[in-house]
Structure 1
Amino acid sequence: MSSAFGGGTDIEEEEDFRSRVLLAWQGDGENGKKQDYIDWALAVPGVTRAWVNPLGFGAGTVVVYPMLDDANASGGGFPNGTDGASASDTRYATATGDQLDIANALYQSQPVDALVIVCAPVAQPVDFTIADLGTGNTVANQTLIKAALTDMFLRLSAPGGTIHPNNWDEALSALNLSTFSVSEPTGPVTGANA
């Protein structure tokens, strides 16, 4: 004896199936791609920014550069400690301090064959000479200029990254200064790698 079947769903249309599968492939999960390391670092309490250099110290290595802008504000946001790997990874010198906390957290998620080295970014002061401010050369405007350039560096700087003159021109133009000219630096500024 047979009875009517209840429940279930209609057969999925081919185009709906195709769209669903393509979306699944695009969101390929966490597998050790560059963005995964950034996300894993940002999940560590205190880390506000992070950059990744795949193969930074050669084949099989991944170098992560974290910043702790709020937690280490008195030190410019730079990590306190020594660069290195997780205490669980015996293939490289063990990090200390903030770098160790971050390396240990990353070790839980990273692919088993990756040698992840957490390094503090290298501080790289950049001197600016701004001229032609005319009557706008006031202490208030100097404070605004310093704040605008600091914000620009926070948003755009990265180990090995380049900031171009149009970036600081844009930051200063937003201040509505009547006139200004930047005579130093004379060209793009490229960040150092640790």
Structure 2
Amino acid sequence: MPFSRPTLADLVNQISSDIKSNLTDANAWLRRTVLGVLSRAFAGALHGLYGFISYVAKQVFPDTAEKAFLRRWASIWGVKPKPAQAATGNVTFTGLIGSTIPVDTVLQRSDGVEYVTLAALDLAAETGTVAIEAIAGGATGNLDAGATLALVEPIVGVQTNVTVAAGGLSKGSDAEQDESLLARLLNRIQRPPHGGNKDDYETWAKDKEAHGIDVTRAWSNPLELGLGTVVLRFMMDDTHGDGIPLPADVATVASYIDEVHPVTAEVTVVAPVAVAVAFQISGLTPGNAAVRSAIEAELRDLIRREAEPGSTLLISHVREAISIAAGETDHVLVAPNENLVADTHEIFTFGNITWS
């Protein structure tokens, strides 16, 4: 039977009753008597202690622990929170030939986000490209190609405005949230290492501290290519727009897996093939931008939660995701109109929404 924490009123009555039973003719229920004041003072102190005990009881279990204690639990099990990662990419400077842009030159976005150059650049032509990195980690540092940054301090012979080069600024990701850390901790507790079983490969793939790649989801498929083989696929939802890892990301993870997997296994690390799902919705009520944005967020969340290589995206879940979006009253889902099934090497990603 679960413990029921007494209320403040319960404690006042209990203490008053104890005083009454031990002091003849005493009445601790009267508010303006010494005994009445003492009973309420003691009850208040006890109520605070019960509150502290309730708080501590939550911290002794990882799944109910608050931030500081959750991180303490995670450290005991060797699961470290993923830190924020700074966005990186290239920018193009324009200026007079021979001008020099020093290393650590500070650039600023219109909203105040700042970046620094990672190397010095001597303009051998009127334009030149150099790598930069956001000063602060986080997804807010990501920026599309063609966007404009500005020099914080002017440089002689160099234009103030700088253009983000092809590929944009990417790989910026926020510090790991408690929900994600708890999920990884519970996975570590419930699925301890077994010397190279299916779960181990997925755990190794998500070990950002070991290989530096922010893997959010991973799947291993033993025997896919024959006896003694393992095919490992993974996603990077917080790094790339569609979550599909780049070839360099795959190579990095594969290199680490080669170091830790059993020598008898033949491991193939590949990126899933993206199958973008295009949604068509008509008759949305109300059809304002806020509701449309909420629906898109719900659909993105659904795909991230349920999409796996070779999985089925249930049409009923798609309709449910649209229906639970904040503000949505009614809609007609035109497409897709049936369950979607991915092949073993494919994974569903969010494509777009057409409104009609």
TM score, norm. by length of structure 1? 0.70
What is the alpha-carbon distance in structure 2 between the residues aligned to residue 28 and residue 101 of structure 1? 24
Is 1:152–2:297 an aligned residue pair?
no
What is the alpha-carbon distance in structure 2 between the residues aligned to residue 28 and residue 137 of structure 1? 48
Q: Which residue of 2 aligns with 1:30?
A: 194
Identity %: 35
- The structure whose residues are more often strand, as a share, is 2
Q: Which residue of 2 aligns with 1:141?
A: 291
Which string of whole-angstrom CA distances, capped at 9 and with x for unpartnered residues, describes residues 117-170 of structure 1? 111111111111122324x12222222111111111111111101110121122
Q: Counterparts of 1:1-194 in structure 2 under 5 Å?
A: 29-44=193-208, 45=212, 46-71=214-239, 73-74=240-241, 76-81=242-247, 97-134=248-285, 136-175=286-325, 176-194=327-345
Q: Which residue of 1 aligns with 2:129?
A: none
Larger RCO of the pair (alpha carbons < 8 Å, separation 6+): 1
Alignment-mate amino acid for residue 34 of structure 1: K
In the TM superposition, what is the alpha-carbon distance from 1:193 to its structure 2 partner? 3.1
Contact residue 323 and residue 330 of structure 2 kept, 8 A: no
Count of aligned pairs? 151
What is the alpha-carbon distance in structure 2 between the residues aligned to residue 67 and residue 112 of structure 1? 25
In the TM superposition, what is the alpha-carbon distance from 1:179 to its structure 2 partner? 1.0
| Structure 1: gaps (5+ residues) | 1-25, 82-96
In the TM superposition, what is the alpha-carbon distance from 1:28 to its structure 2 partner? 6.6
Change (3 A) 1:118 1:173: same
Contact residue 191 and residue 199 of structure 2 kept, 8 A: no
What is the alpha-carbon distance in structure 2 between the residues aligned to residue 58 and residue 155 of structure 1? 29
Contact residue 47 and residue 68 of structure 1 kept, 8 A: yes
Contact residue 57 and residue 63 of structure 1 kept, 8 A: yes
What is the alpha-carbon distance in structure 2 between the residues aligned to residue 70 and residue 27 of structure 1? 24
In the TM superposition, what is the alpha-carbon distance from 1:27 to its structure 2 partner? 6.8
Which string of whole-angstrom CA distances, capped at 9 and with x for unpartnered residues, describes residues 66-116 of structure 1? 112233x25x222111xxxxxxxxxxxxxxx21121111112221221111
Secondary structure (helix, strand or coil) at the match of 2:220 reads strand
Alignment-mate amino acid for residue 329 of structure 2: S
Deviating 4+ runs (over 3 angstroms): 26-29
Report the structure number with the largest CA radius of gyration: 2
Secondary structure (helix, strand or coil) at the match of 2:295 reads helix
| Structure 2: gaps (5+ residues) | 1-189, 346-356
In the TM superposition, what is the alpha-carbon distance from 1:38 to its structure 2 partner? 0.7
Contact residue 122 and residue 192 of structure 1 kept, 8 A: no
What is the alpha-carbon distance in structure 2 between the residues aligned to residue 131 and residue 188 of structure 1? 19
TM score, norm. by length of structure 2? 0.40
Alignment-mate amino acid for residue 191 of structure 1: A
